[in-house]
Structure formats: C-alpha cells, structure tokens
Structure 1
C-alpha cells in the first residue's frame, strides 16, 4: 500500500462544516473563519514508549492523539474548527491503521471536528504530530495570565487516575495486590482515553479568569498560571477530587498520596474564578485552593502542614518516566 492509498483508505472522509471549505485531498486545506472569531492553534507530538506505552491498543492511540489537542482548545474556551495529522510509521499495518483511524475518527465525530490534512512517512519509531485549529470570540479566550489574588482554584473531573494507570503498566509490582482488577482497568482506561472538556471550557470562557489543562501534573501546570499571572497559591491536598479506584489505591498505599498533584495525562481543566462566580459552574468541578498575592505554591495536608513535593510534574527531558 502506497502513501496515497493509505490516506484515501483510512483518513479521507467527507467533511462538511461552515468553517471547512476543502479538507483532505489537495495541497492545502481551505478554512473560512467566522468574521467575529480569532484563530487558535495547538500542536502536540506523541512518541511511542514516551507518551503512551508500547502495548497501547491502536484505537486508544487514535483517541488520545486527538483528545490531548482538543484539551488545549478546551483550556482556552475555544471550539474546534479543524485538525491535521502527521504519522511516522514503522510499517503500514492495515489492522493497526484501521484501529487507529477508528479511534481518531470516532472522537472527531463526537466533537464535530474535521480532519483537514496531514502527512505520512516511514520511520523507525511510531510518532504522531497533531495540530488542531479552533475559534473563539476575542473577548472570551481563556489565558494563563489573568489569575487574581482571592480567586478560587478549581478543577474538573478527578486527578491522578492516569498517573496510577501508567503505574499499572510500567511498575506492575507497585500496584497493591488487593486492588481489584476492575479498578486497574478503569485507571488504565483513564490513561488511554482522556476526555477533552470542551463544553466546560466554553462555559468557563464567560467568567473564569485563568485556565490550563492538566497535562504534565497539577502542581506543574498550576505553576504556569502562577508564573504568568505573577501570583501564588495555596492548595488543600485533602480537597483533591479522586475517583473511587484512586481512593482505594491510596488507602492501600498512602505513600503515593501526592501523586494526584504531580502525575500527568489527566487532561482535566484547572482554572481560577472569583468566589462570587462559583454558583455559575453548571458542571462538576471541585474547589481545591485559592490564589494569593505572595509568590509560590503551598500545598497543605489534612493537619495543615506544608507538603514537600519531590517532583513537580512531567518533564520531557527528564531521565525516563516514573
């Protein structure tokens, strides 16, 4: 199968949206942004063995490749307008490609985003490059630099699931023996199939001050907001929202209690808002702390003591994953 047959078979799909005039099949896609929108662009690289375990199912890789980019749009309150896909493949395996395309296109259809172009090459290592384009009204774009002293800090969903799921793959001996198999499967699923919080981001664009998606760990990603806004924060470790599976793991092994602060791949939205706007949240979210004028991040445990975080989050140039 040559490159063009591969594209036609797995990735060329009819696409009809007001913003896409021409998609896959020409030298360039043609988009027509709405007259009252600004264009937002984000690119992510995913490398096998670095961003997802080597034994990850192709459907899950396809889902995650798109989901992590849609999450960036969600963090800025934008709506997706189109996506491009670059694939570097060790081989053109029809079964793998069919599974990958199914996972990718299923999520794209769920959020109404069209694949509008990309490229494929042969490579010794499986690598994906996804670029997503979004639209938003100029006065409704969420940024990292607008947190204010007195703001509440809140987060969607639950934290730490993906980090624990990664441990089930990379460090199976670290999993408590008493942890049910269903919990392990749930946590692995949260690693492989994150949910982009696009609807929540578009709601937050109406009143939240600052936002970011939790990709490299809550503590590290909150640090980006603090640095950009010139403020500090205090977080209550006991307030972090945890899934039932994560709670059972932490109850069996309290030594990993800070993992929900430092593990990446959650792709939940972390945001700040004025206390008086808390009632405007019409989706599940948990307040975990507050913004203060003094610089730095303070994390307190149940006893009110400051917690020392040995590692703040994921670093692509650190020596291997946890």
Structure 2
C-alpha cells in the first residue's frame, strides 16, 4: 500500500520507491484549521507523503479556544505530521485576525520561499450549531449566527487573500476549500440558516478562485468528507474509534461514517496528481476521489456517504450502508 492508501506496483529502484512513497517531498503546505478532525488528518496525510506542513489553529498546549477541547492542539498535530514522515510546523493563528495571518504567511515565505498547497479547513462552529439545530433563522441569536459565518466564511476569505500571492508565485498551486456537503447535496437546506450559508459559501469560493487561478496555472476545488467520525463526533455519540459502530444503535446512518484519514488521503492524492487541474472549480468528495485514485479509509473500505444519502436516505432506494462501503 502507498502512503495515499492505494496499491502500488513492484519497485525497481530505490529512487522509484522514494518517489512513490514520498510523492510530496519538497512540497510546502498550509493547513489552516488543523487542530482536529479533517484538518488534522489532512495535515498528517500530506506529511506521510513527504510534505512540509504548516498547521494552524487557536488551541495550543498553553491556550484553549472557544471550542473548549484542550486535549487537541496544533502542536500535537505537528508532531503527528513529523511522525508520519513529513515535517510539521505548528503556528498558533486566529484566522479572523488578518495581521496574524499576514505574520504566518510571512514566516512561510521567509522559511520556505514558496507555498504549494493551501487547505482552508477553518470551522470550529459545531458548538454553536448543535444548540440551534433546526431552529428558525429569527430564533437564532444574531451574534451567534454571524459568528458562525465568521468562523466558516470570513476565515477562509482572509486566509486566501493573504496566502494566495505567495502560492501563485509558482505555477501549479492547489487550493482546497473544505466544507460539509457536495454542490449537489447542498441544494437541500442544511440544518439552519447560518450553517447553510457557512457550508455553501466554500463551494462558491472554490468556483471563484478557480476562475482567478486559471491563467496563473493554479487549481481550486471544494472538498467534503462524508459522515465524519471526528473526535468531536465520536464524543457526541459516546464512542471511540475502536467501537464506533456501537453508535449505530442511536443513529443508524452512522454506519456509513468514515474516519478523518479518508479525506486526508483524498487531499494528499490530489496534491500528488500532476493532472489535478482537471478538477478545477469542481465540488469533490472523499468517496469520489477514493474511486478515482484507488485509496481506502483506514479500515480498508471505501465508503460513499453522499451516494448513500442521495439514493437511500433521501431517494427511497432499498439498500443499506454496507452497500455503499
């Protein structure tokens, strides 16, 4: 198996082995919002493919963000990147503060002189969403709603505005806008007004950035995991990764859940693809890219969560989650 989760052929030389096992050696990536969940897994999988990865977030070993999860820090993420075979660099950054983002990008420029991959994975708004799930727009506190937009939209815009001048200095840069839901699925209303906006906006951001990057040789995509078994989601259901299926008794659709490793491998595969520009401006998902690139989730399966929700949950097709794994 390759570090991207796909099967590789016989190795003929040490050089071939190194190229296949570390296809991102020499690549510099920034994963904005890498404290936990998809962002952390993306950073680790980029590192497993050989990249130098700057990981940012608001929770450090000395300070906890409003999310309140002290056991998940950017330093831990950086250590995992390095242990996976890359080089992890933790930089505490609040992506709502432009000057902090400018300092971050200036550091990357000074230390590396380049930026090849930007992953906009900032969110950290689930603690605002869950108490307002299915609430009417006018019943949601305005400050709470606007803060959700700050966390899920404004952070991405600030980071792209500051980081893209460095990324486009060299042709071939990749921007990944992380979101929740494909363009097809998000034609449905998503839970509540502000969350719907926060998770639809990155789709349009990728579309707009694809237009702007076209004539400078860059690529922008929107990417969503499926039903993500993040640390926070596992805690919500009172399970661990080892016994996650126990949560299916409470939520049957959790049977289609995927680990964060899956979407991490998706980004690493995209970054290593010399023909990735064919995806420019598109809405992608982890299951789709698994079929395209041949990687699997950590357990060897290839869950297709969005196909399951489209066909079975909302389409009325007779089937089970196992049919989509």
> Radius of gyration: which is bigger?
1
Report which structure shows greater RCO (CA 8 Å, sep ≥6): 1
TM-score, normalised to structure 1, is 0.29
TM-score, normalised to structure 2, is 0.29
If each structure's helix is expressed as a fraction of its own residues, which one has the higher value? Answer: 2
If each structure's strand is expressed as a fraction of its own residues, which one has the higher value? Answer: 1
